[in-house]
Structures are given as structure tokens and as C-alpha cells.
């Protein structure tokens, strides 16, 4: 999320370069998927309108079979359901409108809404073709506004600032009048949610003026079908300079049946960051009238450039009332946009593209198949999984060309595309771990992309949009992201180069040639062991240092491991025994005498009561410093009095990232049953299957990934590690399929809204009393069998010897 933070100066179809190859890969991975005829299907209109969708679900044949699995090396027998090779239509459980209305008040961290969008996309796609309402929402769409100003091609899901929303298209039943640049209200259309439908890969709305808009997408292209009233002119407005953050330059050219151009925009969160996007749109019938606008002028020219330019194209009213348009995008060149279009969508119909997009989502969603749970729980779960798979986004063209961080054009192997749009400060906590589990190839390419950008630009960014540094938020999160991806087994990238660049970024103060500073306050951190007056900066750096140490350990570099494990314990320098908090420390080593744990000064989108828990890799030492397990349990009980308190109260703020790990701390204090009840409260009180179902920014899938993990009863607590702490699942069963790896099966036949406590657990048939799973479980897979009940088993997981590991190398006593 983005708040009042200083900013540095500065599968299935379409996952590959060609559609047939991608579809072949999908079939190879998933058998012969059912081709779904989506014509006539009613998409999501309102939350929980699910019965007709459930009737269409293609269910697996459940059969009890005996399979052999291993308990970390020991063979045991277990039973469970299997499928008959058919794919379920899980898109019916996804409601793309969740997160498009505020779910709580604005806590000053980017709004009280999820800032999601309902439009068309495919997993990790470059294109997100979605409606933009007049009322500004960072995701482009505000559910309570019935006025649409355009349908733009690019969006971020859940960001706390504006960016993208490039090249909006707007249909008009008539001909152009005043310039859309100076009279935008003249072209706004109203609509009703009763005539609006959304499903993964497809969006449709009937505008009040009688025009139907249908949108779908491939990886790098969009397809639109615009149905106009009979008998009148059919016009499309293409606002080349319509980006939400303003335009420094745009250009548009009109051809016989195409419109092409580019836009130069950026300034994410007000930063000095930019990108150039190229587009190439082709129509299925000749243009009969066309022209451009430039400022307040409308002319019949075929080209224009400037900061307020666009094109209009009108089609013969005597022709069919349906106009199809296909749009290719590229961040490289006009030719790249045209080539992407030719490669991914040369001749298919709109319905064929939409069906393929739906298949690509089903292939991804079917990687976690669940049974049981309420309709609301399934809707929240699969919508969260959908949101978690929207971004990062493919950035390179089908031929491998991409725009680098050095502002030059480079070429990568098309089989390993470059990705961008990294909400680093957010997604390092649980999002990238989920991606590494479900999509290891893409996760490794994401890590490779981060390494590539760090090499080209000279430093690691914190929050990347396109191919420029934004420096938004704090810490050094990409170190954690890359280390965590590697820990979860997605290792197909140059980890040695990554480690070298990490050490440089964490050790060399100053700005690079682009004016970007990777670790503000690094001089003080290196000299003092803390950033003066920056508790949040210090704690973010210690987590990043821990992640560097873990990657070094995996690569066999003991010297780097020793240095950075020592630095990871710098959190101790913030501990004030007089107050019992981790708090900002002045340059002279003193603490503020009037410290208030509810004061956000010295923290980022949080306060002292919230940031004191931010030592996830060494809770044992933190718990000892705070008085031991009993004292910490009492303190946590008070902390969770409120679950979404914001930044000015000393309670949990679980609508934002800094306290996401806190419900699982009870697993370290001998009270796992309190983790189970607290996580259940969060799932029930904060998450809803409604447009206002998110109480804060989704932050490119981070918050949604938290729910996915929590619903499964697992969580990746420690940065740069792959151990999983355990809670209670909400589904009677869940099967997680990892490409190229063994499955993880979670059985909880007694799961219900009231049976939230773990009475017993077996792992691969063997009794298990630890409230955590080792890293080997992620890599080898296996089966968890939960026995759940409505009453807590206070003894399960309570033995101090069973607590999850804390990593204390380099420690000194507090």
C-alpha cells in the first residue's frame, strides 16, 4: 500500500510466445481440458449469485484410492479422492467485482478499498482491458459510480496510487462533436450493474445508450466486440493521451482498417518514473470516416501527436452493427505491438479468444481444487486466487525484445519472458511464495527479471512499474522476493549473480546514475546497526539481510551467510527494555522519552505496537525479550482486540501488510489454538464476498495471497525460507498441484464454520504435533489429515520443543 511515505529522489493459453504452443503445453499438463462454450453463460453480476454457476461446474469423479506418499523419506499409505482428468470450471466461483468498493474507512494508506478492476485479462498478462469510471479509483473502477468514461487497456490490481489506464476506447452511437480532450463529459456513458457481467477473461456491459461492450484478452493483446444500435453511425474514440497519471507525449496514426500509436506516461505515486506504451488496433471492417483531436481541435487528419490527442473512427451504418477490434500492445516499438497481435490473435473470433482466456484461468485455478466450505468461502477463495495470479505482468514481446532499466532495448529468450509490475514492499510477504508454489516457471522468470533489472539499472528497485525505478515504499524487498522464490524451489535463474547484486545493494551507500538510492540510511545502518529515527527502515533491512543470508547458505557461501546473519539481528538495537517495544533510536543512541506505541512516527503505514512483531525469523529471541510466552500471549490477546485498527491505535492492522504475519505468532508461544481462532476471525470479519469485500488495497495480489494461504491452513512466515506454519483449513479437502512437482493434499473432513480448532494432525499418515512444516514438505509434497473440532485442544503443538524454528545465528543477548 502507499501512504504518506517519503519517496526516493529519483495457463493454459497465452502463457507462451505462441498460442498453439501454449495450448499444447496446457493439454500436456492437464490432460484434455473440456472446451467450454461460454456463449449464453451469465457471468458474475452480484456477489453470491452462484447457483447457476455451480450447476455448470464440471466435477471430478471422487474415488477412494490407496496411494503411496512419503513422510519426509518414509513410505506410508493414505487414501484420498482423485479426479478423472477433467477440468472443473472454477471460474464460476470468481467474482471480479470484489474489491471495487471500499470495505472500510480510508486509514491513510491508499484507501479503504481493494482498488481492483473487473475487466478482461489472462494470468500474468500484459493487457487488462477494463472499464474506468468517472469517480477515480486506483484500479480504475468504482463500483458505486454508474458512469463509464472509457475502457482502457492497462491496469494495476490493488495499487495505492494511480498509473497506467492507457489508451481508453469509448464507443459512440453517432459522430464526434466537441473534442474529447476538452469536453470529456460529452462522451461519458451510464450503465446499470444489472446489465454488467464479469468473469475471468471476459467483461461485458450494456451501456444505457444501447451499445454493448464485450472485452477479452490474450497475453499481449485485447479483443473487443462493440454492438451498436441498428441504423446509426458506429464510432469508436481512441484516447491515445488518456492515461490516468497524465501524458507527456502521445501519437496516433489512422490507416485503412487500423489505428496505431503510443503514449509516454508514468509518475506512479508522483515519482519521476516513466514508460512508453505502443498499441496497434485492427478492425474487422473498413473505416468510412475518421479523424483526430488535438487539444480543443477536431480534424479529419490521419495523424497527430501531443499531450491531448486521440483518434476517432466511424463505420458504415449500413454494415452489421457489430464492430470487432483487436489490439496489440508493446513497451518496445510500434512494430512490436503489431507483431504481438499477429502472433497471438491473427484470425480467431471474439468468442474463441474469450473461450481460450477462460481455459487459461481454469488451468490455473484448478491447481488448487477444494471440496466443502460455504458458497461465500469458495467465492472469496477463488477470487483471491484469481487476484493473486493477475500480476506481475509479462513485459517482453513475443520475440523476446523488451525495454530495460537502462532505457535500452534488449532481447531475452522468448521462453523466459521478462516480467514487471512488482509491488515489492507488499508481495514479499506471501504472494511470491504462492506463485513459486503454483507457478515455479513464472516465479523463476520473475526472479530472473528482477536480477536483470538490477544489473541494467545498477540497483534493486522497491516497487517497479514498467522499466523504471519508482523507489516507492521502504526496505529492500526484492532481496526477500528472490530468496523466497529460490527457497520454494523455483531455482531456474542465476542465483549467484542475484547474490552478488544483493551484497552490493546492501553494502554500497549512495545513489546510482539515475538518482535512485536502494537503501536510504545505509550509512547509519552500517555504522550503528540501525537507521537513525527509522525503525521501519531498520526492520525491513534486517529482514532483507536475513533473506540474503539464507540465499548465501543455499549457495554454499558461508562468509556472506555469517555477515548477513549478524546484520539480521540488528533488530535488537531497537529494543527498548524500558518500554518493551522496538522503537526508533536517535543518532546518539537514545530513545525518545515520550514514546507512544500508537504513534506512527518512525514507522511506515504502522506504529510501534504493530512493528514490534516484525522479527519473523527470530521470534524466540523476541519472545524472550518481551517477557516469555505467557507475557507475549497476553500481549497478543490485547493486540487482536481490533483486527483492522489502522495506524493510530496499538492493535492489529490486518487490512495492510506490516502485521500480516502476527496471527501465527501464537504457534511460537505454545498456544497454536489461539492462532487458529485468530486467523478464523480474520477470515470471517475482514473478508467478504461483496464489492466491498476488501478493507484495504489488494496490492497486486498480496492481500489475496494471504487469504489463500489462510484458507488452506498454512502460511509462509519467514522471509527467504519455505517452512510453513499451520492453522486450521476451511475446506474439507484441498489438492494443490505443482507443475513438475508432487501434489500437496489437505484433508479436513470435519471442517465447518464452527469446527475451527485442530484436535489432531497427521502428516503422510504419521502423527504430527508440530504447528509447522519443514521446507522439505514444499519440495516433496505429501498429505495433511486434520481432525477439527469446535473446542480448542490446548495441548496440540504446545510443547516448546515443537515450536517453529527461530534463526539465531549472529545473535547476542538483548
pTM of the model: 0.90
Question: What are the C-alpha distances in Å from 696 to residues 155, 682, 691, 729?
Answer: 17, 13, 12, 23
Q: How far apart are CA 353 and CA 359, in angstroms?
A: 10
Strands (E), 404-549: 409-411, 419-420
The helix/strand/coil state of 334 is helix
- Are the C-beta atoms of 792 and 759 separated by less than 8 Å? no
Question: What are the C-alpha distances in Å from 393 to residues 154, 242, 269?
Answer: 10, 21, 19
Q: How far apart are CA 693 and CA 47, in angstroms?
A: 10
Question: What are the C-alpha distances in Å from 50 to residues 91, 185, 288?
Answer: 11, 36, 44
The confidence score (pLDDT) of residue 565 equals 98
Q: Domain coordinates of the chain in residue numbers?
A: 160-186+201-366, 367-399+412-511+525-789
pLDDT tens-digit profile of 718-736?
A: 999 999 999 999 999 999 9
CA angle 725, 727, 731 (to 5 degrees): 130
The confidence score (pLDDT) of residue 85 equals 56
Q: How far apart are CA 358 and CA 37, in angstroms?
A: 10
Give the 3-state DSSP-derived string for 722-780, with helices as H, strands as E and coil as C: CCEEECCCCCCEEEECCCCCCCEEEECCCCCCCCCEEEEEEECCEECCCCEECHHHHHH
What cell does 633 get?
500471549
CA-based nearest residue to 443, from 388, 405, 473, 482: 482
- What DSSP letter does each residue of 358-370 carry, written as one string? HHHHHHHHTTEEE
CA-based nearest residue to 683, from 731, 650, 720: 731
What cell does 263 get?
503514449
Q: How far apart are CA 510 and CA 523, in angstroms?
A: 9
Q: How far does CA 379 lie from the centroid of its chain?
A: 18
The confidence score (pLDDT) of residue 111 equals 79
Residues in the chain, pLDDT under 50? 1-84, 813-814
Q: How far apart are CA 549 and CA 568, in angstroms?
A: 8
The helix/strand/coil state of 522 is helix
- Are the C-beta atoms of 690 and 697 separated by less than 8 Å? no
Phi, psi of 316 (to 5 degrees): -60, 120
- Are the C-beta atoms of 380 and 688 separated by less than 8 Å? yes
Residue whose C-alpha cell is 500474468: 124
Length of the chain: 814
Element spanning 777, H or E: helix 775-780
The confidence score (pLDDT) of residue 662 equals 99
Report helix angle 477-487 to 431-438, nearest 10. Answer: 30
Contact partners, residue 80, CB within 8 Å, separation at least 6: 64, 65, 67, 733, 735, 745, 747, 783
The confidence score (pLDDT) of residue 810 equals 73
First to last CA, the chain: 32
Class of domain 367-399+412-511+525-789: alpha beta
- Are the C-beta atoms of 223 and 216 separated by less than 8 Å? yes
Q: How far apart are CA 409 and CA 411, in angstroms?
A: 7
Q: How far does CA 546 lie from the centroid of its chain?
A: 23
Class of domain 160-186+201-366: mainly beta
Secondary structure letter of residue 464 according to DSSP:
B
What cell does 415 get?
521462453
Amino acid at each position: 500500500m502507499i501512504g504518506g511515505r517519503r519517496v526516493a529522489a529519483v495457463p493454459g493459453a497465452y502463457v507462451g510466445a505462441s498460442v498453439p504452443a501454449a495450448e499444447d503445453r496446457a493439454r500436456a499438463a492437464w490432460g484434455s481440458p473440456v472446451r467450454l462454450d461460454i456463449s449464453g453463460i451469465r457471468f458474475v453480476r452480484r456477489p453470491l449469485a452462484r447457483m447457476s454457476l455451480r450447476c455448470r461446474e464440471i466435477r471430478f469423479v471422487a474415488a477412494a484410492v490407496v496411494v503411496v506418499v512419503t513422510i519426509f523419506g518414509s513410505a506410508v499409505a493414505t487414501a484420498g479422492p482423485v479426479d478423472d482428468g477433467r477440468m472443473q470450471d472454477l471460474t464460476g466461483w470468481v467474482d471480479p467485482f470484489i474489491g471495487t468498493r471500499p470495505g472500510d474507512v480510508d486509514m491513510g494508506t491508499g484507501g479503504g478499498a481493494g482498488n481492483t478492476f473487473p475487466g478482461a485479462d489472462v494470468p500474468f498478462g500484459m493487457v487488462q482491458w477494463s472499464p474506468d469510471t468517472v469517480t477515480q479509483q486506483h484500479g480504475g473502477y468504482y463500483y458505486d459510480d454508474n458512469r463509464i468514461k472509457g475502457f482502457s487497456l492497462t491496469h494495476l490490481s490493488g495499487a495505492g496510487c494511480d498509473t497506467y489506464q492507457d489508451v481508453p476506447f469509448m464507443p459512440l452511437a453517432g459522430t464526434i462533436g466537441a473534442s474529447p480532450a476538452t469536453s470529456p463529459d460529452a462522451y461519458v456513458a451510464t450503465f446499470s450493474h444489472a446489465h454488467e457481467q464479469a468473469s475471468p477473461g471476459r467483461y461485458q456491459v450494456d451501456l444505457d445508450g444501447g451499445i454493448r461492450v464485450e472485452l477479452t484478452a490474450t497475453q499481449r493483446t485485447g479483443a473487443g466486440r462493440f454492438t451498436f444500435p441498428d441504423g446509426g453511425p458506429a464510432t469508436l474514440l481512441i484516447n491515445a493521451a488518456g492515461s490516468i497519471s497524465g501524458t507527456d507525449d502521445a501519437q496516433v496514426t489512422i490507416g485503412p482498417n487500423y489505428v496505431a500509436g503510443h503514449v509516454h506516461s508514468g509518475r506512479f505515486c508522483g515519482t519521476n518514473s516513466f514508460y512508453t506504451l505502443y498499441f496497434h488496433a485492427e478492425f474487422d471492417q473498413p473505416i468510412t470516416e475518421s479523424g483526430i483531436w488535438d487539444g480543443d481541435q477536431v480534424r479529419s487528419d490521419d495523424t497527430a501527436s501531443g499531450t491531448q490527442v486521440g483518434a476517432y473512427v466511424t463505420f458504415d451504418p449500413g454494415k452489421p452493427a457489430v464492430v470487432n477490434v483487436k489490439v496489440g500492445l508493446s513497451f518496445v516499438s510500434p512494430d512490436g505491438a503489431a507483431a504481438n497481435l499477429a502472433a497471438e490473435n491473427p484470425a480467431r473470433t471474439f468468442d474463441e479468444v474469450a473461450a481460450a482466456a477462460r481455459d487459461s484461468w481454469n488451468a490455473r485455478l484448478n491447481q488448487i481444487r477444494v471440496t466443502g466450505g460455504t458458497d461465500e468461502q469458495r467465492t472469496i477463495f477463488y477470487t483471491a486466487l484469481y487476484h493473486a495470479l493477475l500480476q506481475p505482468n509479462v513485459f517482453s514481446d513475443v520475440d523476446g525484445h523488451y525495454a530495460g532499466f537502462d532505457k535500452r532495448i534488449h532481447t531475452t529468450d522468448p521462453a523466459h519472458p521478462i516480467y514487471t509490475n512488482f509491488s515489492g514492499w507488499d508481495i514479499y510477504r506471501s504472494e511470491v511464495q504462492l506463485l513459486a508454489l503454483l507457478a515455479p516457471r513464472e516465479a523463476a522468470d520473475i526472479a530472473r527479471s528482477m536480477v536483470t533489472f538490477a544489473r541494467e539499472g545498477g540497483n534493486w528497485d522497491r516497487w517497479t512499474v514498467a522499466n523504471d525505478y519508482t523507489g516507492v515504499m521502504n526496505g529492500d524487498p526484492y532481496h526477500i522476493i528472490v530468496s523466497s522464490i529460490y527457497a520454494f524451489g523455483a531455482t531456474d535463474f542465476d542465483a549467484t549473480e542475484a547474490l552478488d547484486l544483493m551484497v552490493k545493494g546492501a553494502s554500497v551507500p549512495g545513489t546510482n546514475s539515475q538518482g535512485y538510492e536502494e537503501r536510504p540510511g545505509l550509512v547509519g545502518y552500517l555504522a550503528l546497526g540501525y537507521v537513525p529515527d527509522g525503525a521501519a527502515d531498520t526492520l525491513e533491512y534486517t529482514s532483507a539481510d536475513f533473506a540474503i543470508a539464507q540465499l548465501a547458505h543455499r549457495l554454499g557461501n558461508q562468509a556472506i551467510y555469517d555477515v548477513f546473519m549478524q546484520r539480521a539481528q540488528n533488530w535488537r538495537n531497537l529494543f527498548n527494555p524500558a518500554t518493551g517495544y522496538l522503537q526508533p533510536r536517535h543518532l546518539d543512541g537514545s530513545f525518545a522519552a515520550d514514546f507512544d506505541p500508537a504513534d506512527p512516527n518512525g514507522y511506515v503505514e504502522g506504529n510501534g505496537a504493530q512493528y514490534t512483531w516484525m522479527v519473523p525469523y527470530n521470534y524466540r529471541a523476541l519472545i524472550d525479550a518481551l517477557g516469555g510466552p505467557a507475557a507475549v500471549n497476553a500481549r497478543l490477546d490485547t493486540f487482536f482486540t481490533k483486527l483492522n485498527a489502522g495506524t493510530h491505535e496499538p492493535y492489529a492492522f490486518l487490512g495492510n501488510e506490516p502485521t500480516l504475519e502476527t496471527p501465527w505468532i501464537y504457534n511460537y508461544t505454545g498456544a497454536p489454538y489461539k492462532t487458529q481462532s485468530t486467523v478464523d476471525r480474520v477470515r470471517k470479519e475482514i473478508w467478504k464476498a461483496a464489492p466491498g469485500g476488501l478493507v484495504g488495497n489488494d496490492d497486486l495480489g498480496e492481500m489475496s495471497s494471504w487469504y489463500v494461504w489462510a484458507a488452506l491452513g498454512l502460511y509462509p512466515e519467514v522471509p527467504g525460507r519455505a517452512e510453513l506454519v499451520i492453522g486450521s483449513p476451511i475446506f474439507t479437502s484441498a489438492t494443490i498441484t505443482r507443475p513438475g512437482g508432487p501434489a500437496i493434499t489437505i484433508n479436513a473432513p470435519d471442517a465447518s464454520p464452527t469446527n475451527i480448532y485442530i484436535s489432531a494432525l497427521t502428516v503422510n499418515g504419521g502423527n504430527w504435533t508440530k504447528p509447522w512444516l519443514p521446507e522439505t514438505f514444499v519440495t516433496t509434497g505429501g498429505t495433511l489429515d486434520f481432525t477439527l473440532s469446535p473446542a480448542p485442544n490446548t495441548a496440540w503443538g504446545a510443547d516448546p520443543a515443537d515450536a517453529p524454528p527461530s534463526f539465531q545465528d549472529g545473535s547476542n543477548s538483548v
